[in-house]
Each structure stands twice: as C-alpha cells, then as structure tokens.
Structure 1
Amino acid sequence: MSMPFLISVVDDDASVRTATSNLLASCGYTVHTFASAEEFLGSAELTDTSCVIADVQMPDMSGLDLLRHMRSRGGHTPFIFITAFLDDAVRARAIEAGAMCFLAKPFTTPALINCLKIALEASHGRSG
C-alpha cells in the first residue's frame, strides 16, 4: 500500500482548520494545519505536501499569493481554494494561477473530497 497523501490546510480561521482536518483525517488522509501562508512556507511539510487546501482571504499573504509564490519557485503542488467571499474575479484569478478547485464556504463533504481526488489524481499521474 502506498503512503497516505499529506494534505496541508492553510486557513486563518481555527474552526475551519479543525473541521477540515477532522473531515480529511476521517477519510484516511494525513493532515497538517497552518494558521497562515507564512507558517506553511516555513514548515517541514512544504516539500512533502500532496495537496494544499487554502483560504483565499488571509491576512498578510493570501492563498492566491501563496500559490503564485510556490509556482514561482517551481512547485507543482495542487491547490484547492476555499472562501467565504465568492467572487467571480477572484475565482478566475485562482483558476488562472493554477488552482484545481474553488469552493465556497460552507462547502459539502462530497464537494471537497471530489476536488481532492481530482487534484491528487492530476498530480499523481504526472511523471517527475
């Protein structure tokens, strides 16, 4: 059996981090949570993460800035964005920057799991 996927949840809202972490853990994923993009960028999990689930709106560095930062450094980790402020322009920028999914809070469990499967299959199917 392959190693479980490591999912990093980056959200400044502790209740969202906890709920998302519990949900993903119950589905068999290994989950690490981070209160900010900067905390995630400074973590040991940065290189081992299979997928990032990030809030779009965060103080200091937004989820979109985090994605752009990682892409600028050659990272290909798939991103799923979650937001309480659904905005078509932000959604378009997120997809353009390389996000796999864009979910509005509160999102359903099947919606998140489906996005995660798509993201992991896309990255796992890539060679190198």
Structure 2
Amino acid sequence: MAEKRVYLVDDEAAVRRSVGFMLKTSGYEVESFESGEAFLKAAPHLPPGCVLLDVRLGAMDGLAVQQALKDKGVVLPVIIITGHGDVGLAVRAMKAGAVDFLEKPFEKAAVIASLEQALRHNDGRAELNRLADQARAQLNGLTPRERDVLNGLVEGQSNKVIAYDLGISPRTVEIHRANLMSKLGVGSLSDALKIAFTARMADLAGAAPAPSEPA
C-alpha cells in the first residue's frame, strides 16, 4: 500500500536491518538506502510514502539530503533520526520542514506514531491543521514568559542566551523551562520542541498562519 511505504536512509547496515524488519512486521513496505546520494538518485521516481532519514550519514548528511529533496521538487514527508547530542541538528531539520524527529534508541511505538503522523501529509491538509490546532491549544496554556523561553529553545539558544535576551537570570529561565514542560505534559526538551513545531506544521505546509496573539 502506497500510504504505508517508508524510505529508510541510514548508512549503518545493522540499523537498516533492524528498523526495516520492525517496520515490515508492522505492515509497512520498506525500501532501504545506504547513503543520501543513493536515495536522491531514486527519489524523483519513488511513489508516495515518507522518509526516515538519519541526520548523521557519510559524505552527505541528512540536512543536505533534505535540502536536495526540496531543490529537486520532491515532496515526501521527512522524519529525522538523531543520536544523542544531535537535538540542535534536529531543530534545524524541523525548521527546514521535517515533520518530526526521533532520538536513538527509540521504541517501536514511537516510530509507528511518528510515521502515522508523517503519512498524514499525503492525505491532505485538514488533518495537518487539526494536529497544529491541537498543539497550539497546548501552547495557549503557557504564560507569555514561558512562551518566550520556549521560543528561545526552538531557536536553539542556551539558557544563558535566553536569560540575557529576556533580561532575567539563568535560574529564572530554568524555572520557566521546568514549568512549561510540566504544563505541556512532557518529560524532555525534545518532546516540548515537537509540540512547538507541530503548532507551526500547517504553516510550513503552506496553510494560513494562526492569528497572532496580543502583546
């Protein structure tokens, strides 16, 4: 089934085997590629599906592959796979249009949930808008200052830089960060960033942005 097709791009054979097996036994059709170059060569001719793309590849990394897809006019939703310490790269990928990112090691349920979300990009914009609205509703529970801190985190800034920009102490930033994560019901910065990016997802897909909030 085209809507259950996944293109796995990873330069580690063990990852291609294990993740490929996991997805195939979960009902997905999987086509694996050992390099970004090999994937890009095939990409213009591939049926609809989604891309599971490792950010750390060989000569051409995942961010370069993602940009090359855009340059070629290939419209496939991309999920970035990151290792420990690659959250900054994942943020850059999300800004460039990736729909999600997964940190290694990841659980099967997390992969499936991410794929189902990504594949909705092939089903029309209404579902994307629903997911974005849901994320915006979560963000509406934050105070303006908590939103400021989250925006700084989305930009990849450190607590010290956010504190300097907002004119508050790093300790106060830490408190706001802990509070916003509690309100969002998440246990990691990665999950908080995903909510923030999901709120922008419809905009990245070309939908009209949500009305701006009053200052």
Q: Same fold (TM over 0.5)?
A: yes
Helix, strand or coil at the partner of 2:80: strand
Deviations 1:19-52 (A, max 9, x none): 1111110111110101001111222785214000
Aligned-CA RMSD value: 2.0
The one-letter code of the counterpart of 1:36 is: S
- Give 1:122 deviation, angstroms: 2.2
* C-alpha contact (below 8 Å) 1:6/1:50 kept by paired residues: yes
Unaligned runs of 5+ in 1: none
Which residue of structure 2 lines up, in the alignment, with residue 81 of structure 1? 80
Q: State the AA in 1 paired with 2:17.
A: T
Q: Does 1:51 align with 2:58?
A: no
Look up the equivalent residue of 2:49 and give its one-letter code: S
Q: Is the 8 A contact 1:82 1:104 kept in 2?
A: yes
- 2:105 counterpart letter in structure 1: P
Instruction: Give 1:89 shift.
Output: 2.0
Which residue matches 2:39? 40
Q: How many residues align?
A: 126
Query: TM-score when scaled to structure 1?
Result: 0.88
Q: Which moved more, 1:100-109 or 1:2-11?
A: 2-11
Q: TM-score, normalised by structure 2?
A: 0.54
1:125 to 2:150 alignment: no
- Structure 2 stretches lacking a partner, 5+ long: 127-215
Assess if the C-alpha contact under 8 Å between 1:9 and 1:54 holds in 2: yes
CA distance in 1, matches of 2:48, 2:122: 11
Letter of the 1:89 counterpart? G
Once the two structures are overlaid, the 10-residue window that deviates more, 37-46 or 104-113, is: 37-46
Structure (1 or 2) with the greater helix fraction: 2
Which structure would you say has the larger RCO, counting Cα contacts within 8 Å and 6 or more residues apart?
1
How far the C-alpha of 1:109 sits from its partner, in A, is 0.5
Return structure 1 stretches of 4+ with deviation > 3 angstroms: none
Percent of aligned pairs with the same residue? 37
Which AA in structure 2 matches 1:69? A
